Amino acid sequence: MIDTQSAGSAAPTSCQPRSAQEWTRILLNYRTPSNGRSIFEIFVTFVPFAALWSLTWAAVHFGYWQLLAVLWLLAAGFLVRLFLIQHDCGHGSFFRHRATNDWIGRALGVLTLTPYDTWRHAHAIHHSTTGHLEQRGIGDIDTLTVSEYKALPWLGRLRYRAYRHPLTMFLVGPAYMFLVRHRLPAGMLKCHWTGWFSTMATNLAIAVVAVAFIWLVGVGPFLLVQLPITLLAASIGVWLFYVQHQFEQTVWEHSDDWSLQDAALHGSSHYDLPGPLRWLTANIGIHHVHHLCSRIPYYRLPKVLKDYPELQNVSRLTLLDSLACVRLTLWDKNRQKLVSFREAAA
């Protein structure tokens, strides 16, 4: 295994564009995590989150209501970062040993209200089927083709429009997902017993932590601190996941034309955020690289772009560009891009 540092210093240059398969082989050199760096990343994320939570409680307790909006938002940002550490643990990329990844991921799942083992299974399916038209529906955002949408009865169209409405997608949906659905995930009856165990164990741990904090600060202050932070973090997380795959030139293919590597590279965006937001979102915006090699720790993803600048402009979205993605709702197989309801009707 070539270490990341040496791989970066020896990065080859080439005038020929590389295929997605070639990129996959190159990225294998960046997989090895540093346990020390990973521990540091947890420290610089959890400590500020705990401090911001305490400051938010203090603002509630002493009546500094004007500070709450800023404190809620900052704490939510660090909660998102904790979720993304959990995300890397789910890929086995944050620590060298799987057991360490799993137990850290389970512990963080209590803070993020996410049953780790259940989520990890669904997310693995998302990675293995991204952009595959015949295998939609698990671990991703429901996306219909134009022809599928037009074939629906009016009630089905209304239901899909309601589901894809921004209020549902980024406000109601995230709240439902993290507060309700993760407590008893749909479809778990057909899954292995470990899925149920993961969910129930996470629920029990959440209950114990919640009761302890309610005992310390009272039910009203606890809800006034925790609930807005959770809801904001959920909406931010869903937005990030949305723009990573729901952009105009993404990729959806039928089985005969689908390639895992091509779908990973071209069906995942490079969400090029400003530096502070890129740090707070743990480089998850470098999503095309992540999908090509999910075992790369997030703190090594910028090194990949530095060594291979040609990857910087692949499926690149800026913060301003991403706002236009909200209107994209249907996959147009003829034009090979996502389109809006209005464009589909035209």
Domain count, the chain: 1
pLDDT in the model for residue 112: 97
Note whether residue 156 is domain-resident: no
Q: Is the pLDDT of residue 5 over 80?
A: no
pLDDT in the model for residue 4: 37
Tell me how far apart the alpha carbons of residues 291 and 183 are, in angstroms, rounded to a whole number. 28
| Banded pLDDT at 195 (limits 50, 70, 90) | confident
Note whether residue 207 is domain-resident: yes
Note whether residue 272 is domain-resident: yes
User: 270-279 long-range contacts, Cβ below 8 Å, gap at least 24?
Assistant: 270/311, 270/312, 270/313, 270/314, 270/315, 270/316, 270/317, 271/240, 271/243, 271/244, 271/317, 271/322, 272/312, 272/316, 272/317, 272/318, 273/319, 274/319, 277/319
Tell me how far apart the alpha carbons of residues 211 and 292 are, in angstroms, rounded to a whole number. 42
Domain that holds residue 51: 4-142+164-330
Note whether residue 177 is domain-resident: yes
Burial (CB < 10 A; 0-12, 13-18, 19+), residue 66, is exposed
Note whether residue 230 is domain-resident: yes
Note whether residue 341 is domain-resident: no
Q: Do β-strands 270-271 and 337-339 pair in parallel, antiparallel, or remain unpaired?
A: unpaired
Note whether residue 340 is domain-resident: no
Note whether residue 335 is domain-resident: no
Count CB atoms within 10 A of the CB of residue 150: 12
Tokens for 58? 């203090």
For the chain, the residue count is 346
Residues 173-193 have pLDDT tens digits of: 999 999 999 998 655 545 566
User: Averaged over 292-313, what is the pLDDT?
Assistant: 96
Residues 205-255 have pLDDT tens digits of: 999 999 999 999 999 999 999 999 999 999 999 999 999 999 999 999 998
| Banded pLDDT at 335 (limits 50, 70, 90) | very high
3-state secondary structure of 286: strand
Q: Is the pLDDT of residue 315 over 60?
A: yes
Q: Is the pLDDT of residue 306 over 80?
A: yes
Tell me how far apart the alpha carbons of residues 273 and 258 are, in angstroms, rounded to a whole number. 29
| Banded pLDDT at 138 (limits 50, 70, 90) | confident
Residues 25-57 have pLDDT tens digits of: 999 999 999 999 999 999 999 999 999 999 999
Distances (CA, A) of 3 to 31, 164, 172, 272: 8, 43, 44, 26
